[in-house]
Amino acid sequence: MNREIKIVCFLVVGSLFSACVPVPKPHVPIGLGSMHQEEIEINVVKVPSVTPPLVAVVDKEYGTKPLNYMNSIRSYFSNKIARGELSKYKYGYPKRAYKKEGFAYGGDVSWKGWLVETSVATPTRTGRLLTPKPYMVLFSGEQIVEHILGYSHKLITKVDK
């Protein structure tokens, strides 16, 4: 019996100590591929090295392509997520996409517009900066309709890959 207790104690102490060893941070792909990426830190707005052309693109089905999407997303998230104003952002290019409602609400197409993949690295309440979280931000023109956690959802179809 004593031996078993010793083994259990050894395992508990061992596992507690193993938790103290820093483990390399998991690599979370932000999924923006070879697309234009840009980082904006709060208070320090870096001018993108490759500025996307500011030409209004109007799609009959999907509406106007958002141009000022980076600032829109940043101000949107500052109210939507905890410590959003202190977060670091990376943006993809706007893509045409549509979203279906959940089957509980009929399953019809509920939104058609432009989707911007955004990765947000938010600090915890103790100030530790976390691995970036992926978001899809849905636009109708320049207006943000909603955001969805993750770069994929079974009810969202991205028309532009």
Partner 1 sequence: MANFNTHFNVASGASAIFSGTLLSMEVLTPEEAVVAFFLGTLGGLLPDVDSAHSTSIKVGFNVLSLLVTIMVIFTKSSTYSLIEMFLVTSLVFIGIRYALLDVFRQISKHRGMFHSIPVAFIWGILIAILMHFFFGLNALVSWVYGFMVTVGYFVHLILDESYSVDLRNKRIKKSFGTALKLGKFKKPKDKVQTALIYMSIPILLSIAPDTTLVINALFSHDAWLIFKDVLIPSDGKWFMH
How far apart CA 96 and CA 130 sit, in angstroms, is 29
Which CB sits closer to partner 1, 16 or 58?
A: 16
Q: Which residue, 65 or 116, is less far from partner 1 as judged by CB?
A: 116
Shortest Cβ 49–partner 1 spacing (Å): 29
Q: How far is the CB of 94 from partner 1 (least distance, A)?
A: 20
Backbone φ and ψ for 37, nearest 5 degrees, come out as -120, 145
Angle at 28 between CA 112 and CA 118, to 5 degrees: 30
Smaller CB separation from partner 1, 156 or 159: 156
Under the rule (CB under 8 A), what is the footprint of partner 1?
A: 19, 23-26, 28, 82, 100-106, 124-126, 128, 130-131, 134, 148-150, 152-155
Tell the smallest beta-carbon distance from residue 82 to partner 1 (Å): 6
* Main-chain dihedrals φ then ψ at residue 26, nearest 5 degrees: -65, 140
Between CA 34 and CA 129 the distance in angstroms is: 25
